[in-house]
Amino acid sequence: MAKKILLIEDDNILRELITKRLVKGGYQVVQSIDGISGLRAVNDEMPDLVLLDIVLPGMNGFDVLENIKKTESLAKIPVVILSNLWQQEDIDKGLKLGAIDYFIKVNFASEEILEKINNILK
């Protein structure tokens, strides 16, 4: 059975691009467009990995990440941040809160994201 990835991203074009690439790579993808529904989806779907934007409507990605990591049943789910926030303090904050990697959107092609996810989920 295909591993499940939850993609929490509010940009429609980017969300569809990443989803197509991940599906082509053999993953099942569940999408969410804001922090609150994203956090709900983590609980409902129990994905193998979460790809998380930081700047989201409703609840930002840092708050989503913090909630995931403080919930015992969710804490072991790997979270990868995918954001346009490139300041070192944002990267440090995401990693300190428990993300296993931090991608800056403008620096990564969807193929590279797929390659990193393959390595994480092996």
The 10s digit of each residue's pLDDT in 38-97 is 999 999 999 999 999 999 999 999 999 999 999 999 999 999 999 988 899 999 999 999
Q: Is the pLDDT of residue 110 over 90?
A: no
Mean pLDDT of the chain: 94
CA nearest neighbour of 65 among 49, 79, 55: 79
Look up the CATH number of the domain holding residue 32. Answer: 3.40.50.2300
The total number of structural domains that make up the chain: 1
Query: What is the domain range of residue 95?
Result: 4-121
pLDDT for 111 equals: 81
pLDDT for 112 equals: 85
pLDDT for 26 equals: 96
Which tops the pLDDT comparison, 106 or 5? 5
pTM of the shown model: 0.94
Q: Is the dihedral of CA 102, 107, 113, 119 positive or negative?
A: negative
Provide the token pair at 54: 């930081």
